[in-house]
Structure 1
């Protein structure tokens, strides 16, 4: 509703015709409460005027007429008061036609009663009382025009009727010069009354318009503050847009003229308007508007200029003064960017950013759904856990960038292997997984597992590098191997661990026995954590002899564990466990200190060799550990030899090299153990000056069996070591024939059962006191 832009016709001001302006019918009802508010003032004024008229009648000798007139006037005043009181609340409702007619009747009766004195005095020809009465009534007319401007019809009726009666009275009294005066007075009063009423009503229109605008602004500001809405929309009963705001038309990509009068859904549905294929959110919006129910923060998928956007709309139905539905009004905002951000966050929460595969969360959900399906239909599902073999070597040697590219290629190959029945995802690091929703066919799991291994084992070409990594797979069948997601994932992990233990490149299915192995490993780890403090660890020493004279040159310290709970535990079993759990660090420190202390009991020319793992080398204080062991024992640094394997260069080559250089700077020597069985690059031989290269026993055994490859490798290692001024030690020599062969191949030192098995410290002390011919003393 807004203030009228044209002048109100007099008939509409008086209420004699139905207006065309929206909401005017209720405003007409709002005119009449003022009549009730001024009732007492009008009764007092009319009573005073009636007294003056009665006094004029007394002087004119018409007391009997005056008495009857006063009774009639009192009756009309009472009736008028009742009518006016009945419309006192019409500002909160619509004025009925009956109440309007009663108002007209009250005005007419009041005017008729006041006309009687004028006609009577005119008829009896009393000029002076007639003039006095007309003056009194004129004052009442002016007072009515001023005090009840909101309802002008009663004043007009009163003024016209009394003026007509005055004209008749003056004519009957022969005062013809006075006849036109009441007519002129009536014209002036009626015109002024109508104008005054028009001004009043137009002011009420303006107030109503301002109140509505204030309501709209308040709604807009409230919604903006609470929901970040930024434009207003309004539609009529046919859902045509009305009252277009500039920001609304801008959001539609059109001018206000193009928007006004158009179907709201047509403007926001794009091509769907012609086809009838609306987005579900638009259907929901249309249904809400059809049901005429309020809605707040409804997310709607709209199409603007062929571009999909997301709007957030709030709206409420509008009612006219009669309580009739006239459309919807609301606020809205474009939340496309916020929606896209939310979708991106949701995507990141469920997908791996590097490979684009589903992440652990989504795999967890998918496996849960597969298990529910299997329970419902009594079928089977499966979970395959995949771990890359030798990936760490690639990551550490060529860098994380190459490693990430390799993972991306792996994910691409996995995507090619799966069908609609499977989902592949990345668990993290170099671990992947496949959920098989229906694994009722026993061959399905085996077939997919072998396809994964075969595909991932093919060479990769990245940044001019040809890389080879394999894959190990562990699988578990649900619900046989686990009735919930956690059990199924844990059991497939146990199967994967077994596949890795078997050397990798294999698929292993879960078996209940794996739980026993895992439990044994857990108990073993618990016991190992307390082995040092309980004194369960001890050192054995294996001699290393000169290949020519067979005299002892050094001993290699080898740790052993005799556990009260588990008995004698093989190093093959507990050393990998210690490395996995990083218990190797405190164990290595203990070995270093014990070995250095024991070496002080030997002749000064005999050295002690201590094995060091990659986990120890990356410790920041490794060099300090060596210094403390030497200082505590009093052993000369030149008598300590650190043995490392090629695998240390796969973890962090720079850190490992720096640590070894610190050890060499102290005067210690460094030996390279198990040469040729691991890391394939020889570049580290240029960067670190090893004192000794130890030939792995597998090559020694191969040469003893006359394998040409093993013989060629040993000769090549000896030649390389000689050229680099390094010594060579052959490991695993068990017979006199093997010892003789090693001498002929040029190795400088020999280690093996032929010259002595690992022995306790007391036996080692006896050995160093014996004759040089050690083979005969401690041989087989």
Structure 2
């Protein structure tokens, strides 16, 4: 255990094992502790000897009638001999005069105490064996008095007192128990325990008091040494003035701090020395004005920061002083201490700058933005005006980070900051909230057209191409604006309103500027409540799957089903997937929900013919989950569905998140024998590049092209023909989505798509309706070989 030690070598905490003398750990001068203990006992030594001798004589008179004068006399001689021998031994070894006493010397004292307790104990036990209870009661009273006295006088050496009380008390307990007096036995036991506890507490209090006195002495010595050291070698310096506030008794270090000799300083006004060139002009900094007022009013001051001109350079001094008054209260000037804290001040300024500015872009950070917005709102309330707060989020910035790395992303953020800074006026303060989010405080937003124009200008400016490390980068910006105090009477409320407006801009696809409207708060609250309900939906079994058939373009036979998730909530009713799927992705619930869909769809597919497949949609968040592949394998094993009967559908959006390693995961899915389908083909940015990266099984043509082809739109017809030809050359199948009319079906067949999906062949249906399509199919008739295939 680590001991806390003062500079004097005395401990600040006394462990019990050291207090009673059972240990002598290194690192602390415990000999001084024991010397203090013996010093506390010395003053009671003669009282103890005389008292014990008198009590011994009384004990002889009590016991002589029972054990005889000879035995009692021999016992008395042994008792007196022990006390006088111990006194002579301690005197010979000069224990009372020592400044440090080792553990062996304390052992001698403990042995003497134990022997004394043993002699008294022998006397009591002898009476119990041969005497009567009346004599025992008298001797018991004497011994109790001696034990109490020991607890008081020997408590400075707790172990000696503990041994004496313990042995004497043990003998009394044995004696009373031997004669059958159980009440006296219990009483003796209680008194013994009480005295032992009292001895420990009194001993600890004694030594703590002695150590405290030593600490006080130590502190006085330390203060004296520090003052002397300060005067000799300290980094700070002393200064004094007379009643006219002129320097007196010049300190050499004070003269060195001013870059002058003591002779040049002596007698000059203190303010003139610290004011430098401003003394002649009379234009003092505010801090020097405060210092002059303190000196004029003869007020004490502490840690006052003042700028000092020394040889044309500004330094910062920290000054403390108090007026010198004699016994009559007459003022004799000031005496104080000073130090040069220029370096510390500069460091503090740097820290303050870092606390209020973003290190990457050098724009004001969230702290400064909120402070400025608070002041703008106060001014708006005061002058019945309006202020504004804009939140800016960069569109497609994450794709830059994921594809080119964070260093390029950081340099892009710095370019964005430069562009924002270039369009700011004195009316706006632009800052960075964090990540790719920026914000602008508009001090005067009374002109609504101005804020609208500023929002459009921000989007236009930030959407221009960037050249970063030989890369041409295209990003955009979404902006949300709130006007105070109309849209919020506090900083937090106004920022929340701007955030809701920004969320609406992002929801519109980005590149938009929206003003806050009260209904946005209603939508946000609805979204929050819906998210809470969505988190409980799995446990409450509110999800279900519908299955939409995918048929052969040639025969019209069912080749598979696409599993479509449905949510029916007691409060919201049937919720559209377009509404709750994005919410599940934002709330990071799509992974557990997706696992439920995968396992449920695989189990349901085992009820269909072995030639019918099931397609399950998978999001980018699911693919980025490290346990996704294990989950898919587990779902196949639990349901016993062959891997070739499972088709996983993904959209082109997963390739916009290169950092997730989507391509590698898709390759592993194909390696397992699972089919892979690219959904909504043609609606992304570079679909051909994705086909080059990943070997898909099926390409699903988006319904917008199918509808255009049915209307004889040349572009749609050309796109479908190109997709079918490309898929055939790559060994892929094609599925046309959204076929709703006979004309669309005929056009799809004519263009060569192999599979068709749409309302014409069937809407999404419940599991039992899907099973009814195979009424003549007996799942029990499927062989084990087919199941394992």
Please indicate the TM-score interval, normalised by the length of the shorter structure: 0.5 to 0.7
Does residue 371 of structure 2 align to residue 353 of structure 1? no
Per-residue deviation, residues 636-682 of structure 1 (Å, max 9, x unmatched): 11211111112223335443233333333322122222233235475
Aligned equivalent of 1:540, options 527, 537, 546 = 546
Does residue 696 of structure 2 align to residue 690 of structure 1? yes
Aligned equivalent of 1:615, options 621, 635, 646 = 621
Kept after mapping to 1: 8 A contact 2:652/2:687: no
Q: How far apart, in 1, do the equivalents of 2:322 and 2:764 lie? A: 90
Alpha-carbon shift at residue 755 of structure 1 (Å): 2.8
Question: Which 5+ residue runs of structure 1 have no aligned equivalent?
Answer: 1-213, 772-780
- Report the 3-state secondary structure (helix = DSSP H, G, I; strand = E; otherwise coil) of the residue aligned with 1:647: helix
Aligned equivalent of 1:673, options 679, 684, 698 = 679
Q: How far apart, in 2, do the equivalents of 1:701 and 1:464 lie? A: 42
Q: How far apart, in 1, do the equivalents of 2:475 and 2:753 lie? A: 34
Q: How far apart, in 2, do the equivalents of 1:736 and 1:436 lie? A: 58
Does residue 446 of structure 2 align to residue 440 of structure 1? yes
Aligned equivalent of 2:574, options 565, 568, 577 = 568
Aligned equivalent of 1:415, options 406, 417, 421 = 421
Counterpart of 2:394 in structure 1 is 388
Does residue 237 of structure 2 align to residue 231 of structure 1? yes
Residues 738 and 378 from structure 1, CA distance in 2 versus in 1: closer, same or farther, beyond 3 angstroms?
A: same
Counterpart of 1:399 in structure 2 is 405
Aligned equivalent of 1:467, options 462, 473, 482 = 473
Aligned Cα root-mean-square deviation (Å): 3.1
Q: How far apart, in 1, do the equivalents of 2:554 and 2:314 lie? A: 86
Counterpart of 1:490 in structure 2 is 496
Does residue 315 of structure 2 align to residue 309 of structure 1? yes
Q: How far apart, in 2, do the equivalents of 1:492 and 1:587 lie? A: 32
Q: How far apart, in 2, do the equivalents of 1:613 and 1:284 lie? A: 67
- Report the 3-state secondary structure (helix = DSSP H, G, I; strand = E; otherwise coil) of the residue aligned with 2:238: strand
Q: How far apart, in 2, do the equivalents of 1:488 and 1:479 lie? A: 8
- Report the 3-state secondary structure (helix = DSSP H, G, I; strand = E; otherwise coil) of the residue aligned with 1:473: strand
Kept after mapping to 2: 8 A contact 1:220/1:229: no
- Report the 3-state secondary structure (helix = DSSP H, G, I; strand = E; otherwise coil) of the residue aligned with 2:661: helix
Counterpart of 1:554 in structure 2 is 560
Counterpart of 2:597 in structure 1 is 591
Alpha-carbon shift at residue 411 of structure 1 (Å): 2.0
Q: How far apart, in 1, do the equivalents of 2:230 and 2:488 lie? A: 54
Alpha-carbon shift at residue 380 of structure 1 (Å): 1.8
Kept after mapping to 1: 8 A contact 2:388/2:444: yes
- Report the 3-state secondary structure (helix = DSSP H, G, I; strand = E; otherwise coil) of the residue aligned with 2:511: coil
Per-residue deviation, residues 92-115 of structure 1 (Å, max 9, x unmatched): xxxxxxxxxxxxxxxxxxxxxxxx
Per-residue deviation, residues 485-536 of structure 1 (Å, max 9, x unmatched): 2222222222222222222222222222222222221222222222222222
Does residue 676 of structure 2 align to residue 655 of structure 1? no
Alpha-carbon shift at residue 557 of structure 1 (Å): 0.7
Counterpart of 2:707 in structure 1 is 701
Counterpart of 1:342 in structure 2 is 348
Residue-pair matches, total? 556
Kept after mapping to 1: 8 A contact 2:399/2:658: no
- Report the 3-state secondary structure (helix = DSSP H, G, I; strand = E; otherwise coil) of the residue aligned with 2:679: strand
Q: How far apart, in 1, do the equivalents of 2:444 and 2:252 lie? A: 57
Aligned equivalent of 1:753, options 750, 753, 759 = 759
Alpha-carbon shift at residue 538 of structure 1 (Å): 1.1
Per-residue deviation, residues 347-379 of structure 1 (Å, max 9, x unmatched): 233222222222222222222222222222222
Residues 708 and 457 from structure 1, CA distance in 2 versus in 1: closer, same or farther, beyond 3 angstroms?
A: farther
Kept after mapping to 2: 8 A contact 1:381/1:438: yes
Residues 679 and 258 from structure 1, CA distance in 2 versus in 1: closer, same or farther, beyond 3 angstroms?
A: farther
Alpha-carbon shift at residue 706 of structure 1 (Å): 4.0
Residues 526 and 321 from structure 1, CA distance in 2 versus in 1: closer, same or farther, beyond 3 angstroms?
A: closer
Kept after mapping to 1: 8 A contact 2:374/2:491: yes
Q: How far apart, in 2, do the equivalents of 1:694 and 1:257 lie? A: 96
Residues 293 and 737 from structure 1, CA distance in 2 versus in 1: closer, same or farther, beyond 3 angstroms?
A: same
Scaled by the length of structure 2, the TM-score of the pair is: 0.65
Q: How far apart, in 2, do the equivalents of 1:217 and 1:279 lie? A: 38
Counterpart of 1:377 in structure 2 is 383
Does residue 465 of structure 2 align to residue 456 of structure 1? no
Residues 770 and 516 from structure 1, CA distance in 2 versus in 1: closer, same or farther, beyond 3 angstroms?
A: farther
- Report the 3-state secondary structure (helix = DSSP H, G, I; strand = E; otherwise coil) of the residue aligned with 1:293: coil
Q: How far apart, in 1, do the equivalents of 2:247 and 2:716 lie? A: 90
Alignment of 1:172-187 (within 5 A): none
Aligned equivalent of 1:582, options 584, 588, 599 = 588
- Report the 3-state secondary structure (helix = DSSP H, G, I; strand = E; otherwise coil) of the residue aligned with 1:493: helix
Higher alpha-carbon deviation: 440-449 or 264-273: 264-273
Alignment of 1:222-261 (within 5 A): 230-236=236-242, 239-254=245-260
Q: How far apart, in 1, do the equivalents of 2:643 and 2:439 lie? A: 50
Kept after mapping to 2: 8 A contact 1:229/1:331: no
Q: How far apart, in 2, do the equivalents of 1:526 and 1:759 lie? A: 28
Kept after mapping to 2: 8 A contact 1:317/1:327: yes
Counterpart of 1:273 in structure 2 is 279
Q: How far apart, in 2, do the equivalents of 1:302 and 1:544 lie? A: 86
Alpha-carbon shift at residue 710 of structure 1 (Å): 3.6
- Report the 3-state secondary structure (helix = DSSP H, G, I; strand = E; otherwise coil) of the residue aligned with 1:438: coil
Alpha-carbon shift at residue 322 of structure 1 (Å): 9.2
Counterpart of 1:139 in structure 2 is none
Counterpart of 2:484 in structure 1 is 478
Residues 220 and 353 from structure 1, CA distance in 2 versus in 1: closer, same or farther, beyond 3 angstroms?
A: farther
Q: How far apart, in 2, do the equivalents of 1:641 and 1:399 lie? A: 33
Kept after mapping to 2: 8 A contact 1:552/1:768: no
Does residue 519 of structure 2 align to residue 504 of structure 1? no
Alpha-carbon shift at residue 431 of structure 1 (Å): 1.9
Counterpart of 1:518 in structure 2 is 524
Q: How far apart, in 1, do the equivalents of 2:553 and 2:225 lie? A: 101
Alpha-carbon shift at residue 258 of structure 1 (Å): 5.6
Alpha-carbon shift at residue 694 of structure 1 (Å): 2.2
Aligned equivalent of 1:605, options 611, 615, 626 = 611
Residues 628 and 704 from structure 1, CA distance in 2 versus in 1: closer, same or farther, beyond 3 angstroms?
A: same
Residues 293 and 516 from structure 1, CA distance in 2 versus in 1: closer, same or farther, beyond 3 angstroms?
A: closer
Q: How far apart, in 1, do the equivalents of 2:232 and 2:649 lie? A: 73
Q: How far apart, in 2, do the equivalents of 1:718 and 1:276 lie? A: 89
Per-residue deviation, residues 135-168 of structure 1 (Å, max 9, x unmatched): xxxxxxxxxxxxxxxxxxxxxxxxxxxxxxxxxx
Residues 411 and 327 from structure 1, CA distance in 2 versus in 1: closer, same or farther, beyond 3 angstroms?
A: same
Scaled by the length of structure 1, the TM-score of the pair is: 0.66
Kept after mapping to 2: 8 A contact 1:496/1:507: yes
Residues 704 and 349 from structure 1, CA distance in 2 versus in 1: closer, same or farther, beyond 3 angstroms?
A: farther
Q: How far apart, in 1, do the equivalents of 2:333 and 2:517 lie? A: 69
Kept after mapping to 2: 8 A contact 1:650/1:679: no
Alpha-carbon shift at residue 341 of structure 1 (Å): 2.6
Alpha-carbon shift at residue 539 of structure 1 (Å): 0.8
Per-residue deviation, residues 517-568 of structure 1 (Å, max 9, x unmatched): 2222122222222222222211111222333343332211110112221111
Alpha-carbon shift at residue 569 of structure 1 (Å): 1.0
Q: How far apart, in 1, do the equivalents of 2:269 and 2:746 lie? A: 102
Per-residue deviation, residues 728-760 of structure 1 (Å, max 9, x unmatched): 322223333333433444433332223322222
Alpha-carbon shift at residue 389 of structure 1 (Å): 2.0
Q: How far apart, in 2, do the equivalents of 1:766 and 1:335 lie? A: 88
Residues 335 and 544 from structure 1, CA distance in 2 versus in 1: closer, same or farther, beyond 3 angstroms?
A: same
Does residue 365 of structure 2 align to residue 365 of structure 1? no
